[in-house]
Amino acid sequence: MTGKKQKNNRTFLRIAVLALVGLVFICFACTLILIVVDRVDDSASRQAPEAPITDPSSAILVLAYSPEKADLVVDLVQAFNDTRQRSPDDELMQVRLVELAPDQMVEAALGDTPGFQALTPDASLWLDQLDLRWAEIHRDGESDIAPRRVADSSRYAVSPIVIAAWPEVAQVLRGTNLQVGWTDLQARAAEDDGFRWSHASTSYASGMLATLAEFYAGAGKTRALSEEDVLKQETLDYVRDVESTISLYGENEATAMQRMRDQGRDYLDALIVMEALVAQHNQAGNDPLVAIYPREGTLWEDHPLALLDDPSITDNQRRTFIALSEFLRRPEQQKHILARGFRPADLSIPLDSPGSPISIANGVDPKEPQTTLQMPGPTVVDVVQNAWWYTKRPSNVFLVVDTSGSMEGDKIENVRAALDTFVDQIQGTQDRVGMVEFAGTVYNIIPLAVIDDVHRQTLEQSILSLYAGGDTALLDAVRAAYVRMQREGDTDRINAIVAMTDGQENASGVDLADLMSEIARENDRGVPVVIFAIGYGNDADFAVLNALAEVSGGQAREGDIETISELYRLLSQYF
């Protein structure tokens, strides 16, 4: 048994004993997909991952960064590279960038060849999780000293977690009390069926920290949250009641904020993000948002810079890390960080300095938050992350899969892998998944069922047996899934269809206009169903896919052989 599986089993036993509610919690591992941004030269370029750096004198440091601060990190690293500092043996010290989700950073760093020597996730909690899991895998039973994967770390920017809302929504939420708490979001959703709010999945700090804040509120504490606090039935019930009003989860706060800009009030009424994104949004002259600081207190994204403890890291790479860390803490860089809407790590730089975006005019308040919650230890965070699968809003998801003749070969093989990736991400015992296969007709409809061991095996066997042949009846397949969801009448769950095709609709009995009318009508008076449409390759009919996504409030995405598994993994984080 691997160290990771041992860790999951121990977590399960701890939760079962403490909660006495018979919960089954399973941690998950994510597929690693790297997008490399080469910043060694003065210009930036996206390219495939490079071969590992093996030069023992190399001073090139590969840095993994999380997507919510992409623009800031790229600017800072470019500025560092432009200084063209050299090591004592005259090697040019440069930094290359790899964009990676925080949970994927952890998974990669647990391996022997992570593809980077340093990382800057959205919060230090991932470094704690990395060290915790590393110690459980590599601990020597004869030693009391836990091995660490992180050799050194510092932070260069911070930003509190806030509720971003449109001004009129913030006014209603605040009412006469002025302060807004988690139960206010819950109450508003109960009063108004059209109220929509969201936070990212717990694979990202904004989602994880929001969930921790809910558990703190449920326990009635602001510090020293314990495993016992998390697993009290009243705490679990509190968090479940709040989470039950979530519209959708999501992959990361930067993506969600872009949709807020693109779709405005048609997308969400409120979104959990770090304060910096609200300031940036308003600075850019967009339809303004207001940052609400939860009255129960909030946690912070502290954006650490960390170096891995790995024997393959050269002395010069360590020197580059130290030089970069010192560079980021220089006053001029700290002021640049402030100008980007983040709060600088250097507390001597005033937030109300001239030109500071941390201002009421930008929808944020430099005097807030009034209450900062204490970050729990990594074992408590681990329990909360597992408990989230029990307290999150459950979902019904139909996977609609194109098996037409054009899918033959590599496409169908990659779709099998992608579907397996999706199913693997669905954990716990709350969510229900079904599948509809289609070619020239709709066939092999697997009904919605809870993802237990038996149903998971049923889905995996069906995925394995997918074969390509025939025409493309996409609209009939989407309608088959949609009608079944309406018959279920389940408004307590998130209801979604993930539909994929690589070609043009050419065999359905229903036409697009009629299907769109049906979706618009039934979503309004029946069960709201969101459609996520994936176009696989250049021949996919994006006019149809965009129409289905738009009428349902969903999204249309483009995938190819290289990205299809990652796309399914990302979409799984919405449910």
pTM: predicted TM-score of the whole model, two decimal places: 0.88
pLDDT at 46: 35
Q: Is the pLDDT of residue 311 over 50?
A: yes
pLDDT at 87: 97
Chain-centre distance of CA 204, in angstroms?
5
Burial of 491: CB neighbours in 10 Å, binned 0-12, 13-18, 19+: exposed
Tell me what the mean pLDDT of segment 80-103 comes to: 97
φ, ψ of residue 68 in degrees (nearest 5): -70, -15
Portion of the chain with pLDDT greater than 90, in percent: 86
Confidence of residue 437 (pLDDT cuts 50, 70, 90): very high
pLDDT at 178: 79
pLDDT at 54: 67
Query: Which residues, in sequence order, are bridge partners of residue 397?
Result: 433, 496
Tell me what the mean pLDDT of segment 162-169 comes to: 98
Portions of the chain given CATH number 3.40.50.410: 394-572
The CATH-assigned architecture of domain 394-572 is: 3-Layer(aba) Sandwich (3.40)
- Residue 251's closest CA among 561, 33, 449? 33
Tell me what the mean pLDDT of segment 62-89 comes to: 97
Q: Is the pLDDT of residue 524 over 80?
A: yes
pLDDT at 296: 96
Portions of the chain given CATH number 3.40.190.10: 3-154+303-349, 159-301+361-376
Counting DSSP H helices and E strands in the chain, the numbers are 20, 19
- The token pair at 271 is 């979104």
DSSP state of 395: E
Tens digit of each residue's pLDDT (9 = 90 or more) over 185-200 = 999 999 998 999 999 9
Looking at CATH, the fold of the domain delimited by 159-301+361-376 is given as: D-Maltodextrin-Binding Protein; domain 2 (3.40.190)
- The token pair at 462 is 């069906």
Whole-angstrom CA distances from 373 to 9, 127, 208, 221, 479 are: 29, 19, 13, 9, 47
Q: Is the pLDDT of residue 30 over 50?
A: no
Q: Is the pLDDT of residue 387 over 50?
A: yes
Q: Is the pLDDT of residue 47 over 50?
A: no
For the chain, the average pLDDT equals 90
Looking at CATH, the fold of the domain delimited by 3-154+303-349 is given as: D-Maltodextrin-Binding Protein; domain 2 (3.40.190)
How many other β-carbons are positioned within 10 Å of the β-carbon of residue 441? 14
86: three-class secondary structure by DSSP = strand
Query: Which residues, in sequence order, are bridge partners of residue 94?
Result: 60
Q: Give Cβ neighbours of residue 253 (< 8 Å, ≥ 6 apart).
A: 68, 200, 204, 206, 271, 272, 273, 274, 277
- The token pair at 387 is 């408990």
How far apart (Å, rounded) are the C-alpha atoms in residues 139 and 142? Answer: 9
Chain-centre distance of CA 505, in angstroms?
32
